[in-house]
């Protein structure tokens, strides 16, 4: 599933091409992608002008004029591509957006068809039910707030960081990578982290995400940038999907286990379990 760096990469590229573009036509080939009837969806979008494109957690929010917002979630295999009108589209392309003064189309492609699009008549995030459930992302909080969000939770730190209602934007890749760099065992209870451990983890998460954004995300299987090219951060992964390969620090084999129903990669030697300090 695309995580914060991949979605941010998509948003930044879409801004370069689509801001102030007027939507000429929308074609829907797979109605299940939408949260309203295809004809109504296409009718409401026709003639709208794209004024703003931003990210909230893993959601893409496209602000429209005169009023409204297009909401996109890519789920596991969704892709947003900018391609020439003349380029044929394949059977996995489900929605096409054409523009009045642009030679490119915005195409939604999704092999597994788990992603979705919705259209809100409001342009305010607080009016969107999806967004009201989304917690702040790591770039929206301070170290103190981050500690407040996690310090009294009796969940594993891995599961808590994946909970989009607590901290948004993180998924398996960047949680595993951040916990490795922080030296924290994925099954450590969030409430066991000291203020210093929390601050270190917070700093590492932000640095990891920032570096991943700089390299335009991680491509392991399905993620593509809007130009169809792969991201580059997968070259820097230290534990994720590196089971049985040597740890870059201690050379012990990277291990894999299930935490909260999710495959989790870690180094048993470098990532030690922390336990709650009842005297704190």
The catalytic position among 200, 241, 243, 262 is 262
**58 classed as catalytic:** yes
**Catalytic, out of 5, 6, 55, 58:** 58
SS3 annotation, the chain: CCCHHHHHHHHHHHHHHHCCCEEEEEEECCHHHECCCHHHHHHHHCCCEEEEEEEECCEEEEEEECCCEEEEECCCCEEEEEEECCCCCCCCEEEEEEECCCCEEEEEEECCCCCEEEEECCCCHHHCHHHHCCCCCHHHCCHHHHHHHHCCCCCEHHHHHHCCCCCCCCCHHHHHHHHHHHCECCCCEHHHCCHHHHHHHHHHHHHHHHHHHHCCCCCCCCCCCCCCCCCCHHHHCCCCCCCCCECCCCCCECEEEEECCEEEEECCCCCECCCCCCCC
Q: Is 3 a catalytic residue?
A: yes
Residue among 3, 6, 83, 177 flagged as catalytic? 3
Active site residue 5: no
Is 2 one of the annotated active-site residues of the chain? yes
Catalytic residues: 2-3, 58, 262
């Amino acid at each position: 599933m695309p995580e914060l760096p991949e979605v941010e990469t998509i948003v930044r590229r879409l801004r370069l091409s689509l801001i102030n573009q007027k939507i000429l036509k929308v074609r829907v080939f797979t109605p299940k992608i939408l949260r309203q009837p295809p004809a109504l969806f296409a009718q409401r979008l026709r003639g709208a002008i794209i004024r703003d494109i931003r990210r909230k957690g893993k959601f893409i929010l496209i602000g429209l004029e005169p009023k409204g917002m297009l909401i996109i979630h890519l789920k596991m295999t969704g892709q947003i591509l900018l391609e020439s009108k003349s380029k044929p589209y394949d059977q996995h392309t489900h929605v096409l957006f054409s523009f009045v003064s642009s030679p490119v189309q915005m195409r939604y492609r999704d092999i597994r068809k788990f992603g979705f699009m919705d259209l809100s008549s409001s342009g305010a995030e607080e009016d969107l039910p999806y967004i009201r459930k989304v917690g702040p992302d790591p770039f929206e909080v301070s170290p103190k707030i981050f500690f407040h969000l996690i310090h009294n939770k009796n969940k594993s730190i891995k599961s808590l960081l994946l909970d989009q209602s607590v901290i948004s934007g993180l998924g398996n890749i960047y949680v595993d990578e951040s916990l490795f760099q922080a030296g924290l065992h994925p099954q450590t209870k969030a409430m066991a982290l000291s203020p210093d451990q929390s601050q270190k983890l917070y700093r590492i998460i932000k640095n990891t995400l920032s570096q991943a954004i700089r390299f335009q995300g991680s491509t392991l299987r399905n993620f593509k940038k809007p130009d169809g090219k792969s991201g580059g951060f997968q070259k820097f992964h230290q534990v994720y999907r590196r089971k049985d390969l040597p740890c870059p620090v201690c050379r012990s084999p990277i291990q894999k286990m299930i935490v909260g129903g999710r495959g989790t990669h870690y180094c048993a030697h470098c990532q030690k379990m922390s336990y709650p300090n009842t005297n704190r």
